[in-house]
Chain A
Amino acid sequence: MNLTLKVWRQKSVHDDGLIETYQAKDIPIEASFLEMLDIVNQRIIIDGGEPIHFDYDCREGICGQCSLTINGIPHSKERGVTACQLHMRKFKDGDTIWIEPFRAKAFPLQRDLMVDRSAFDRIIAAGGFIDVRTGSAQDANNLPVAKTRADSAMDAAACIGCGACVAACKNASAMLFVSAKAAHLNLLPQGAPEKDKRVLGMVRQMDAEGFGNCTNLYECEAVCPKEISTENIARLNRDYAVALAKEATV
């Protein structure tokens, strides 16, 4: 298949950047989106140009490294996939595809399609962990956890921290990420004792990083490759209010 690519090129943080057009000819439909970019890059290198820089790692949808906004939607409009798991058969011959980085003030652009997402690491460092060793796996049923609760925690834990939620949010809010990371610990007995401290720490770090505010548009949930529910955001809102009230009074 033959495609026209409109790709964001930017040499550095300080550079202005612009959209450049590339013709991607003879792309096999079984190629993944990143393989398509590999093919295009190979040709750019042969022609003596600078290849398009983009982030990737596992290429099997679990590491959260790919950060492409495809036709205005992070990881493309296909539901529940990362860009590396997107295949060219989802496009039509002759399509024009816009490829841009994840855009947010808190994700400073490094080069072309690569952004610095270490703001997420700092949010995790502000409370997204358990302070003490919780030991190795216990005997079954030694520590009772309701099935529904375990399921909710597991669903939240599926977050791979790719940042598509931020990129898709009209306000560049990180609430889906933060709420998922808080929920997967808060819901379980090992994480529950530090719930208030965790929620306050993570939310404050999130605000300090310059992410926007959630306005309940649910775009994050729609693009999330792991289909994390915005139910977690409601839970975080509630937990934050309670934690703040406790901090002020207890």
Chain B
Amino acid sequence: MSSSTCSICHFWQSSIGKKIVVALTGAYLVFFLAGHLVGNMLIYQSSEAFNHYAEFLHTMLHGWGIWIFRIIMLVALVLHIIATIQLTAANRAARPRRYQREATMVAPRSSRMMIWSGLTVLVFFVFHILHYTVRVQSDLQVLADFKQNWAMTIAGFQNLLVVLFYILAMALLCSHLSHGVGSIFQTLGLRTKKTAKGIQLFSKAYSLIIFVGFISIPISVYFFGMGKKEMEATKAKVEAAVQAGLTELPEQDNAH
């Protein structure tokens, strides 16, 4: 027991061990983003499909599923952040005196600002949770109470500042992923001379898909008015239901 506990300490304290923690937690977050994007794309299919999907997430494994997922997500995120902050601090300390004239041969800017793109995405993450999960905005909360997640999402993107912050955060997420995805392979020892180019291409393509996929929603909603009419109609129905003291929409409305 003592030797294995000590090995975990060794692992965490070593440069490579901590990087492996970053890579594994990063991989989990990368998979999560892909799943999140696929789910989000249902917004284009229909309000029914989207609401149904939201309902499924909240009821899978008798409601335990979402909490299991959230706890793993939180642990991964916390480990990823603590490890990278510690690594960055050690990296700064490893060169106390900087070059008077700095130059870079190959490393793209995105790879050199990982800590800043990461921390911005973290701020966005907190905002996003407050916006759509905790729902500090009361009108969004009411829509969610009536299981109108599609209308809630559309309503949430009616604010220009929200949309702009969303796009900025996704741009930085794209920058973060364009280096991060490839780094997972290198840190886990899966990158070779033969696969290096392919991994780099995959990393860039993946981050671009994530970027375009996610920003397409607020752009379609805010700039092209996607779903505005239906969202307003749903909102009116929900308001009427609230007035009537109901806790869910009458059957015929839910059916369509």
Chain A residues in the interface with B (C-beta under 8 A): 6, 8, 19, 69, 71-73, 77, 98, 100, 103-106, 168, 170-173, 175, 203-204, 206-207, 210-219, 221-223, 229-231, 233-241, 244, 247-249
Contacts and interface: CB of A to CB of B under 8 A. Distances in A.
B16 interface: yes
B104 A219 contact: yes
Contacts, number: 147
B115 to A, nearest CB: 10
17 contacts: A6-B100, A72-B101, A98-B100, A103-B99, A105-B95, A173-B91, A206-B15, A215-B114, A216-B111, A234-B189, A234-B190, A236-B16, A241-B17, A244-B11, A244-B17, A248-B3, A249-B4
Contacts of A206: 15
A17 to B, nearest CB: 8
A214 B19 contact: yes
B156 interface: no
A4 to B, nearest CB: 13
B7 A19 contact: no
Nearest to B94: A212
Interface in B58-115: 87, 90-91, 93-107, 111-112, 114
Nearest to B184: A216
B10 interface: yes
B234 interface: no
Contact of A237 (B19, B87, B106): B19
B105 A77 contact: yes
A218 B183 CA distance: 11
Contacts of A239: 189
B218 interface: no
A225 to B, nearest CB: 13
B204 interface: no
Q: How large is the interface on B (under 10, 10 to 19, 20 to 34, 35 or more residues)?
A: 35 or more
A214 B19 CA distance: 8
B134 interface: no
A212 B91 contact: yes
Contacts of B11: 244
Nearest to A248: B7
Contacts of B93: 105, 210, 212
B187 A71 contact: no
Please give me the 4 A-B residue pairs with the lowest Cβ-Cβ distance, nearest first.
A238-B189, A72-B103, A212-B94, A248-B7
B92 to A, nearest CB: 8
B193 interface: yes
Contacts of A19: 100
Contact of B179 (A8, A216, A238): A216
Q: Which of B13, B102, B189, B192 has the most CB of A within 10 A?
A: B189
Nearest to B7: A248
Interface in B185-239: 185-193, 196
Contact of A215 (B4, B8, B91, B97): B91
Q: Which of B4, B18, B87, B90 has the most CB of A within 10 A?
A: B90
B152 interface: no
B140 interface: no
B90 A212 contact: yes
B19 A213 contact: yes
A241 B16 contact: yes
Contact of A103 (B91, B97, B183): B97
B101 A207 contact: no
A83 B179 CA distance: 31
B244 to A, nearest CB: 58
B90 A213 contact: yes
A207 B91 contact: no
